[in-house]
């Protein structure tokens, strides 16, 4: 290895502010621990944000784009479900939208659909190939969307990557219109199919998946920001699918 060693930062638990963590295992030099206060599993200490952001290269979206057909059909089902059960129309923002398939599906379903994504190659695909100029590149808080301006906010397989969880959930809350919903999907560390030997779980990804939620820790994080769990979808694979709204 010729690259410099990344610098690490130690954080308090973003869910309960706890400072005591039980060590679980180590992968690629990164310590996976469980918060003694709330049970959140996380990498702590962890590589600093700049290093984490650097793992999002073009190859990351390349694999995603190659599986476009299946992904598009799945995104259309996700959008149809929200539309049928919660919000029939209005403005939809997909946070961490990658190549823009959710944005495309939401627009096709009649929403005024927007997307934001960190990785430039994915944004270029969304804008140039899918013709979605409302997909922009950058972090959520750098977009400066107006307050209460979205009826649906979605984050699919994104929240586990976000360095500052509380800043992100606070921003989701700020952007959520009255009566709107936030849908979050993320791996479920407490799911019955998740291996007991956690280090063998395929969702364990050093530098990429910083947090591993379960059915208790995710609602607790959102409750800190005045957001309540409206629906918890029963999942057959090891994932959480939660819908939140204003408390």
Chain residues that interact with Zn ion, rule: CB under 5 A = 13, 15-16, 18, 35, 37-38, 40
Q: Which of 14, 47 has the CB closer to Zn ion?
A: 14
- Assigned token pair, 234: 């029963």
Shortest approach of Zn ion to residue 41 CB, angstroms?
Answer: 10
- What is the distance between the alpha carbons of residues 140 and 4, in angstroms, rounded to a whole number? 29
Q: Which of 40, 175 has the CB closer to Zn ion?
A: 40
Shortest approach of Zn ion to residue 15 CB, angstroms?
Answer: 4
Q: Which of 18, 45 has the CB closer to Zn ion?
A: 18
Long-range contacts of 224-227 (CB under 8 A, 24+ apart): 224/15, 224/166, 224/169, 225/166, 225/169, 225/170, 225/172, 225/173, 226/173, 227/169, 227/172, 227/173, 227/176, 227/182
Shortest approach of Zn ion to residue 37 CB, angstroms?
Answer: 4
- Classify each residue of 86-115 as buried b or exposed e, where b means 16 or more C-beta atoms within 10 Å of its C-beta: bbeeebbbbbbbbbbbbbbbbbebebebbb
Cross-strand pairs, 245: 228
Shortest approach of Zn ion to residue 214 CB, angstroms?
Answer: 12
Q: Give the residue among 239, 211, 237 at the shortest CA–CA distance from 43.
A: 211
Q: Which of 35, 79 has the CB closer to Zn ion?
A: 35
Shortest approach of Zn ion to residue 186 CB, angstroms?
Answer: 16
Q: Which of 187, 245 has the CB closer to Zn ion?
A: 187
């Amino acid at each position: 290895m010729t690259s410099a060693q990344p610098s690490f930062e130690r954080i308090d638990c973003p869910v309960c502010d706890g400072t005591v963590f039980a060590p679980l295992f180590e992968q690629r030099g990164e310590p996976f621990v469980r918060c003694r206060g709330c049970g959140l599993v996380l990498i702590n200490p962890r590589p600093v944000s700049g290093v984490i952001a650097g793992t999002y290269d073009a190859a990351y979206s390349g694999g995603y784009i190659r599986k476009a057909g299946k992904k598009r059909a799945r995104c259309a089902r996700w959008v149809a479900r929200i539309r049928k059960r919660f919000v029939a129309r209005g403005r939809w923002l997909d946070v961490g939208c990658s190549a823009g398939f959710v944005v495309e599906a939401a627009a096709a379903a009649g929403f005024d659909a927007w997307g934001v994504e960190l990785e430039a190659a994915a944004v270029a695909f969304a804008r140039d190939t899918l013709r979605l100029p409302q997909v922009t590149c950058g972090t959520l808080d750098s977009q400066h969307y107006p307050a209460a301006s979205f009826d649906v906010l979605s984050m699919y397989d994104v929240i586990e990557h976000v360095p500052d969880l509380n800043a992100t959930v606070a921003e989701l809350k700020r952007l959520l219109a009255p009566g709107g919903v936030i849908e979050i999907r993320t791996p479920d560390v407490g799911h019955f199919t998740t291996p007991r030997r956690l280090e063998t779980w395929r969702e364990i990804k050093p530098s990429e998946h910083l947090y591993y939620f379960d059915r208790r820790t995710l609602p607790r994080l959102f409750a800190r920001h005045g957001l309540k769990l409206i629906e918890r979808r029963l999942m057959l694979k090891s994932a959480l699918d939660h819908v939140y709204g204003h408390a």
